[in-house]
């Protein structure tokens, strides 16, 4: 992999270090000018700071242990890596009894000292403090929510502004960042352009009704038409507008000129779904490629997922070790297995046959033409394949109008990628590029052609076979980390009845 140097590893003391450019706060001593190089804890622990050299770190105290022999151990974290740095503070420090002995969990500190080999077990190096400044104290430590003990994820959701201070949510944030970068890296390396599709749209991709309305009309004094309907011609856009449920239709337009494109951004669904796999606001990755069929689409999905998993395994071994040990036993081995072997591929028709012959009693009967239920998908991916599986060529009656009708006319070139523990992680298809077939499908699905004039134009002017899919970013993070609920892999989750923070 190229280009993976941390910017924080630039030479110390010249202002090139981004940490030195953070605004200072917490008292005049913070502004003291000296030559002490300031470094992220990740760099200190990674060995880029020489033992016996002097360094300053800034962060938050995780725990403090006092020794009556006359010194204290503080675990200090700044979020740059999973591990905290052990700081040894001697009673000789002028503020030892007044401040250091009261610097408990959550306090922000600036520590300058000498990095030394640690005589204790559990860490290679430690920082022998020569100056320890408490920048911000914790008021009422007895009710500080992030006390050094186990917390349930349900509780931490109620303090979403404080939960990034925990091991788990720090690790999630770093893995999420790593995955986001790897997404862009993968597409860039494969000749895809990142298209910023609009957040506010007028059309609904699926023809469904679960949209958030965007309006500047005064709800208490709605202008009405003669027919008694709200008069959206008086609204901001002169028509109805909504938050996007998918960038697919827009990105298809750019695909039909630039060949390989993708979107990666927030998506909104006003569905009243209360599950561990759904959010009202989530992030989605949607590539679209021209001159491509369903098979190429599945190849792309597999290559993308493998790239993402490989990137996390290589670049965040510290966080992945934590997830593997504390959140989901075997998380690392599971990812490694996915990277190492080809994805299984099944047609819907084969999948139905496998389910019918499995000898298992399902709550919902399996019959050709009906959509697969969660229990069926789980059987396929968790019991039958024991890994990711691509299911293709679904009956057209259960899929949207834009999917390409297969030869034979009964199925469409759709695909779902199913993953153990998550279910559907990717949904995609080869798109219908034939105008007359598209029109017939829109009519069958009861969709008004008028709002889709521009979408039909793409088939009227130089149409080509093309395909794409949507990958749920939170579901991907959930799979990678083993975090069971997507509400815990996005910083501030939005779900029905919940938009605090």
Q: Interaction with RNA in 368-397: which residues (CB under 7 A)? A: 371, 373-375, 377-378
Q: How many degrees, rounded to 5, is the angle at CA 373 between CA 427 and CA 154? A: 80
Q: How far apart are the first and last CA of the chain?
A: 37
The reply to whether 321 sits near RNA by the rule CB under 7 A is: no
- Closest distance of CB 25 from RNA, Å: 23
Lateral strand order in the sheet of 423-430: 193-194, 260-268, 281-290, 466-472, 423-430, 411-419, 389-395, 344-347
**Binding map of RNA across residues 23-62, x = CB under 7 A, - = no contact:** ----------------------------------------
Residue 120 binding RNA, by CB under 7 A: yes
List the interface residues with RNA, window 126-155 (CB under 7 A): 126, 128, 141-143, 145, 147-152, 154-155
CA atoms within 13 A on the CB side of 27: 9
- The verdict on 121 binding RNA (CB under 7 A) reads yes
Rounded least distance, CB 23 to RNA, Å: 28
How many Cβ atoms from other residues are within 10 Å of residue 34's Cβ?
10
Rounded least distance, CB 494 to RNA, Å: 10
Q: 3-class DSSP state for residue 388?
A: coil
472 binds RNA, rule: CB under 7 A: yes
- Binding of RNA by 282 (CB under 7 A): yes
The rounded distance, in Å, linking the Cα atoms of 309 and 331 is: 11
- For the bound state, the minimum distance from the C-beta of residue 293 to RNA, rounded and expressed in Å, comes to 20
Q: How far is the CB of 148 from RNA (least distance, A)?
A: 5
In DSSP notation, 312-377 reads HHHH-HHHHHHIIIIISTTHHHHHHHHHHSPPEEEEHHHHHHHHHTS-PPPSS---TTSPPPHHHH
When the beta carbons of 18 and 141 are compared against RNA, the nearer one is: 141
How many residues bind RNA (CB under 7 A)? The answer is 74
Residues 424-453 that bind RNA (CB under 7 A): 424-427
Q: Contacts with RNA in 181-220 (CB under 7 A)?
A: 206, 208, 210
Confirm or reject binding of residue 275 to RNA (CB under 7 A).
Answer: yes
Q: Which two tokens stand for residue 352?
A: 């139905």
By the rule CB under 7 A, 360 interacts with RNA: no
Q: Which of 301, 311, 471, 489 binds RNA (CB under 7 A)?
A: 471
Binding residues among 60-89 for RNA as defined by CB under 7 A: 63, 65-69, 73, 86, 88
196, 204, 169: which is closest to 82 by C-alpha? 169
Helix (H, G, I), strand (E, B), or coil: what is residue 8?
Answer: helix
The residues, ordered by sequence, that sit 6+ positions from 329 with a Cβ below 8 Å of its Cβ are none
């Amino acid at each position: 992999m190229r280009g993976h140097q941390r910017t924080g590893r630039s030479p110390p003391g010249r202002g090139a270090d981004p940490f030195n450019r953070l605004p200072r706060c917490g008292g005049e001593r913070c502004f003291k000018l000296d030559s002490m190089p300031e470094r992220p804890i990740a760099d200190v622990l990674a060995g880029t700071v020489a033992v016996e050299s002097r360094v300053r770190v800034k962060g938050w105290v995780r725990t403090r242990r006092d020794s009556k022999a006359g010194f204290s151990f503080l675990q200090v974290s700044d979020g740059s890596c999973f591990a905290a740095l052990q700081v040894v503070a001697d009673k000789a420090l002028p503020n030892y009894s007044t401040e250091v002995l009261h610097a408990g969990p959550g306090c922000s500190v600036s520590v300058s000292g000498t990095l030394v080999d640690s005589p204790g077990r559990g860490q290679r190096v430690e920082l022998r403090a020569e100056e320890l400044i408490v920048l911000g104290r914790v008021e009422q430590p007895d009710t500080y929510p992030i006390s050094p003990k186990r917390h349930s994820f349900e509780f931490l959701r109620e303090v979403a502004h404080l939960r990034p201070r925990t091991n788990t949510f720090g690790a999630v944030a770093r893995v999420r960042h790593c995955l986001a970068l790897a997404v862009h890296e993968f597409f860039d390396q494969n000749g895809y352009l990142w298209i910023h599709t609009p957040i506010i749209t007028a059309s609904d991709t699926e023809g469904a009704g679960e949209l958030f309305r965007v309006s500047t009309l005064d709800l208490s004094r709605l202008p009405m038409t003669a027919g008694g309907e709200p008069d959206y011609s008086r609204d901001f856009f002169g028509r109805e507008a909504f938050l996007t449920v998918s960038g697919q239709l827009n990105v298809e337009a750019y695909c039909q000129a630039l060949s390989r494109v993708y979107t990666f951004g927030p998506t909104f669904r006003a569905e009243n779904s209360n599950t561990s796999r759904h959010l009202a606001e989530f992030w989605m990755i949607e590539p679209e490629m021209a001159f491509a069929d369903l098979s190429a689409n599945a190849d792309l999905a597999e290559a993308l997922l493998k790239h993402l998993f490989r990137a996390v395994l290589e670049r965040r071994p510290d966080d992945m070790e934590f997830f593997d040990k504390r959140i989901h036993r075997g998380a690392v081995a599971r990812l490694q297995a996915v990277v190492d072997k080809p994805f299984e591929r099944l047609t819907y028709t084969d999948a139905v046959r496998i389910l019918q012959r499995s000898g298992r009693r399902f709550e919902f009967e399996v019959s050709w033409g009906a959509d697969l239920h969660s229990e069926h998908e789980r059987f396929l991916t968790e019991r039958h394949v024991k890994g990711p599986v691509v299911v293709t060529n679904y009956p057209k009656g259960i899929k949207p109008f834009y999917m390409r009708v297969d030869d034979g006319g009964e199925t469409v070139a759709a695909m779902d990628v199913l993953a153990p523990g998550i279910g559907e992680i990717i949904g995609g298809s080869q798109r219908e590029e034939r105008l007359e077939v598209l029109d017939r499908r829109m009519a069958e699905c009861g969709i008004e052609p008028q709002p889709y004039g521009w979408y039909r134009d793409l088939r009227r002017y130089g149409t080509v076979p093309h395909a794409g899919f949507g990958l749920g970013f939170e579901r991907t993070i959930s799979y990678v980390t083993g975090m069971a609920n997507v509400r815990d892999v996005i910083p501030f989750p939005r779900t029905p009845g919940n938009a605090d923070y």
